[in-house]
Structure formats: C-alpha cells, structure tokens
C-alpha cells in the first residue's frame, strides 16, 4: 500500500509538471494557431534563471523561482514580438523559426555553463517528506501539484472572466471583425504568449526542484511529453491538458516501477495511440 501511495503521489507530481509545460503550449496553439516548438527553450531559460538565482545570486528558492518565471516571461514576449508576430500568416516559417530557437537556446546554455547537469540547491523547507499511509512522500511533489492547480484555475478564469480572455477567444474566431471593432488583437496575442511563457518558465523552475538539477537538454526532453499531453487532452483545452497530464504521469510512474525502467515512456506512447485510434476527435472542447 505504501508503494502504491508513493507512486501515485510521485505520478501526480510529474503530471503536474507536464501540465505546467503543456498548458502554455496548448494555450498558444489553441488560441493563436502557433505551433511553438521553442516552448522547451522557454522552459530551459526559466530553469537556468531559477538555478542562477538560487545557486549564484544567493536568493531563497521562492525569490529565485519568481525571478526565473519573470525572466522566462520576458523571453516569451521578446520571442513573440521579434520572431512570431511577423510570421503569423506564414505557418511554415513559424515552425522553422521556432525550431531554430529551440536548438539555439540549449546550445547557448551549453556554451555558457557547459553540457553537464548542474545540481540544484534544495531549500531546507522543501527537503522533508510527508507520511501518508506509510509512504514518505517528498514535499516538493505537493508543491508541484499545488502550483499546477493554481495555474489551472487562473487560466480558466482568464479565458472566461477577463476582457482580454474574451478578446482572444473572439479574435481566434474572426480576427478581422474584432479588429474592425477597434480592438487591437495583437496586444491580446502578446499577452497570451507571455502567459504561456510564464507557465513554461515556472515549470522549468519547478522541474529543477523535482529532478534536483538542470541541464541544457531538459526543456527539449520534457517538451516531448508536453506534446503528448496536448494531443491527448485536445488542442487548446486547458482542462483536457490537466486530465491528460495526470494520466501520463501516473501511467509513466507505475509502468516504470512494475515493469522495466524506461518502459514507462513506451506505455505513454501506447496510451496515446489507443486514445487517438479510439477517439480521433479531441477529448474535450477547445478553449475549455
């Protein structure tokens, strides 16, 4: 029983991490039809900025996480203004440009700090465990779950209750009409990109806590599972991404433990294949 509880809590923590990454990816693609393949680079930027703040600047973890999230948000805004905005009507060029950024950022990080993983200083307040049904669950798993829950609520409120959320939803349906009404859709799209970048950077800072280290390829590795979550949950569906992330995290953890190490990734791919074949349409509606 203790093993099952530990695997479940660890799987939920990993699923929470996947959701933080996938939510921004799903939001950007679902609302803006931009397949941002540089999303993993934003995660790496957030992870390294958080690591630098905690290990080099001497900030406590929460301040370092805030710094990393802010840095990643600024990087996302710059990416949208400089690279994405001129290419909104050229989707093929968007893909090529974001792939280039996704390759260039890890190379830049490797050039500055080397290719080896850098250990992340674990804050004392989050270094302990919580005992549940005989299982000693690391506290940082609950931090990830709490952060993902807050992001989920915030994104749904943004889309349903805020002026810019409504503008973005309307702009996706008929951009020309919204623009004719005097609304600057570009500002709303920049805001969405900033929110997506913030979620990715937050995920990067929490991934450093979860794995205990940062490395240049971390963002690219996690981006693969984020894409799986987005496809399973439905393009543009935040709620669907949350449900899919939980399923992916749990399947991966249980499969890795009860079979051979590494087969969890295969189990996730098999789950994706089954869902796509059984339900070729999106699992949930868009913008939900």
Q: Is residue 251 within 8 Å of residue 271, measured between CB atoms?
A: yes
Residues 6+ apart with CB under 8 A from 37: 95, 98, 99, 101, 102, 223
Query: What CA–CA distances, in Å, run from 239 to 22, 27, 36, 41, 203?
Result: 11, 11, 20, 24, 17
Question: Which tokens go with 210?
Answer: 């979860």
Whole-number pLDDT of residue 285: 47
What is the per-residue burial (b if ≥16 Cβ within 10 Å, else e) of 18-36?
Answer: bbbbbbbbbbbbbbbebbb
Kindly list the averaged pLDDT for each block of 10 residues, start to end, along the chain of length 288.
Answer: 84 92 82 81 94 90 94 93 85 88 93 90 81 81 92 88 76 65 74 90 92 90 88 79 89 84 78 74 50
State how many domains the chain has: 1
Q: Is residue 92 part of a domain?
A: yes
Q: Is residue 142 part of a domain?
A: yes
Beta bridge partners of 137: 130
CATH number at residue 247: 1.10.3470
Whole-number pLDDT of residue 284: 45
Q: State the residue range of the domain holding 6.
A: 2-278
Distance, CA of 218 to CA of 230 (rounded, Å): 18
CA geometry: angle 277, 282, 283, nearest 5 deg: 90
Whole-number pLDDT of residue 124: 81
Q: Is residue 129 part of a domain?
A: yes
If DSSP codes are grouped into helix, strand and coil, which group holds residue 138? Answer: strand
Whether this prediction's pTM lies above 0.75 is answered by: yes
Q: DSSP assignment of 182-206, as one string?
A: T--HHHHHHHHHHHHHHHHHHHHHH
Beta bridge partners of 132: 135
Query: What CA–CA distances, in Å, run from 180 to 36, 175, 176?
Result: 27, 9, 6
Whole-number pLDDT of residue 172: 59
């Amino acid at each position: 029983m203790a093993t099952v509880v530990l695997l479940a809590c660890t799987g939920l923590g990993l699923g929470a991490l996947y959701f933080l990454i996938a939510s921004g990816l799903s939001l950007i693609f679902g609302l803006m039809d931009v397949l941002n393949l540089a999303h993993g680079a934003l995660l790496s930027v957030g992870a390294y900025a958080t690591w630098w703040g905690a290990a080099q600047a001497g900030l406590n973890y929460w301040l370092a996480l805030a710094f990393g999230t802010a840095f990643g948000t600024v990087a996302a805004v710059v990416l949208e203004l400089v690279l994405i905005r001129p290419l909104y009507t050229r989707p093929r060029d968007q893909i090529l440009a974001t792939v280039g950024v996704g390759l260039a950022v890890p190379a830049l990080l490797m050039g500055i700090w080397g290719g080896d993983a850098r250990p992340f200083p674990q804050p004392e307040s989050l270094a302990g465990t919580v005992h549940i049904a005989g299982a000693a669950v690391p506290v940082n798993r609950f931090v990830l779950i709490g952060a993902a829950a807050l992001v989920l609520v915030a994104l749904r409120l943004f889309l349903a209750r805020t002026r810019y959320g409504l503008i973005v939803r309307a702009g996706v349906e008929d951009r020309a009409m919204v623009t004719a009404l005097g609304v600057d859709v570009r500002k709303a799209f920049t805001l969405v990109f900033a929110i997506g970048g913030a979620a990715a950077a937050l995920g990067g800072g929490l991934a450093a806590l979860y794995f205990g280290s940062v490395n240049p390829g971390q963002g690219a590795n996690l981006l693969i599972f984020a894409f799986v979550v987005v496809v399973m949950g439905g393009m543009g569906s935040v709620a669907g991404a949350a449900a899919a992330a939980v399923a992916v995290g749990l399947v991966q953890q249980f499969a890795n433990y009860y079979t051979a190490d590494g087969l969890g990734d295969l189990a996730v791919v098999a789950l994706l294949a089954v869902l796509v074949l059984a339900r070729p349409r999106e699992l949930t509606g868009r913008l939900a």
